[in-house]
Amino acid sequence: MKTVGVVILNWNLAKDTVVAIESLKKHIKSCKLKIIVIDNGSILSDVSLLSKIRSIKLIKNKINLGYAVANNQGIKSFLSANNVPEYILLFNNDAYCVNDFLLPLLDEIERDSEIASTSPLIYYADQKTKLWSSGGVIDLEKGLMSSDYYHHLKNWANKHEPYIVDWNTGCVNLIRSDLLSKCGLLSEELEMYVEDVELSLRFKTFDCKCLVVPASIAYHSVSKSSGGSGSTTSRYYISRNTVLVANAYIKHNKLFILKNCINQIYQSINGRNTLLLLVATARGLLEGIKLSTKGRSLIRRF
């Protein structure tokens, strides 16, 4: 039986983290799970609750170190162990499962050595028939980095067949441990958001692919720890990091970045708290462009 090392990050949402852990323990039978929870400087009640959970390793950070740094703590702990698990599962603490979603993911990743990572279809937790992610696509023509791959597939004959995507979301992502050792972990310079896009694009530089497996399903409450997908925090980092990743990996990136800036502004206008979102988006775009035009990048070369 294969071993999967699960990395779960908590920040002031311990009750959600407990639900995520319990769903994994209850439903995953296809492999042996080793679970590491990284608490990122949460309130004492959170730490106390997590400390009571048996059969997990809890890493306690005194302060919030950010998404990428904290997740890398968990990954490094697994990679430095005497018995390194064959796979690492990044699992958001606001995600959960209702069946053994890892079985089809493992089947596919073991079928082809060029598959770097596999992800399930991910549905909204509060709208269980509505897709949150069907895989990541980079649409050069529209200047988009979208997690809605369904609307970008061409000549799709069988909706049940696994398919290659441009990137896999870090929300629920099964990754080969040996590949992480070879090509590096999450880009800590990006801090949070779009780091999963960067990692997937880096996998491609090693001639590896990312796969979505429709037979596998998980659920997600969507960015609760950062205030939701329409928060000023998420808008800033998504805007900034999209520019940086595009500058590092995409050919003819200036045109893509221009189109992406327009898309980012449009999304802010159509959200709540329009003025605040516009300010956060503008700050992120300007910071990304500033760093890029200075010849600097927050993408560390591995």
Residue bearing tokens 């279809």: 121
pLDDT score recorded for residue 302: 45
Question: What pTM value is reported for the model?
Answer: 0.91
| pLDDT on residue 209 | 96
- Candidates 49, 82, 87, 53; CA nearest to 176 is 87
Give tens-digit pLDDT for 99-142.
999 999 999 999 999 999 999 999 999 888 899 999 999 988 88
Ranges of residues in the chain whose predicted pLDDT is under 70: 153-159, 223-230, 252, 270-272, 294-302
Distance CA 134, CA 147 (A): 6
Average pLDDT for the chain: 89
> Domain residue spans in the chain?
3-221, 232-293
Which residues lie closer than 8 Å to 11 by C-beta, 6 or more apart? 39, 40, 41, 42, 64, 225
Give the pLDDT of residue 145: 87
Residue partners of 110: CB distance under 8 A and separation at least 6: 2
Which pLDDT score is estimated for 155? 52
CATH annotation of 3-221: 3.90.550.10
Q: No. of H helices and E strands in the chain?
A: 9, 12
Among 278, 245, 272, residue whose Cα is nearest residue 144? 245
Got the DSSP string for 215-273? EEEEEE--SGGGT-TTSHHHHHHHHHHHHHHHHHH-TTHHHHHHHHHHHHHHHHHTSSS
Q: How many CB atoms lie within 10 A of CB 74?
A: 23
| Structure-token pair, residue 135 | 């895989």
